Amino acid sequence: DAGITQSPRHKVTETGTPVTLRCHQTENHRYMYWYRQDPGHGLRLIHYSYGVKDTDKGEVSDGYSVSRSKTEDFLLTLESATSSQTSVYFCAISESEIAPSYEQYFGPGTRLTVT
């Protein structure tokens, strides 16, 4: 299994509070992604990174920001959480010297509830 961890694994927070989710990899993969999973929508891309300090928006980026200051860490921040951001969040990684770029490996997910 690819070495991907997400923290926290579960979080309950109140509307209007800031929240940061962390994705950490030990595989030296170049690309990192944040997805959210909601019933009836599958997984949708929020933001992704193609290198340190290089990030871009995905399909559902409104209300989210990201940062990648080190190869191994990709942070997702909800500046002011809303109930519509209640979801399961997945981090994924791809492309290293030994892993082909077309395969993405997923972390265990973070269940976020905004009350």
Residue in 14, 54, 79, 103 binding other proteins, rule: CB under 8 A: 103
Residue 31 as a binder of other proteins (CB under 8 A): the answer is yes
CA angle 113, 40, 25 (to 5 degrees): 55
**Number of residues that make up the chain:** 115
Q: Which of 85, 94, 110 is nearest to 17 (CA)?
A: 85
Residue 28 as a binder of other proteins (CB under 8 A): the answer is no
Residue 51 as a binder of other proteins (CB under 8 A): the answer is no
Rounded Cα distance, 54 and 107, in Å: 21
Residue 40 as a binder of other proteins (CB under 8 A): the answer is yes
Q: Which residue ranges make up the site for other proteins (CB under 8 A)?
A: 31, 33, 40-45, 48, 50, 58, 88, 90, 92, 94-95, 101-106, 108-109
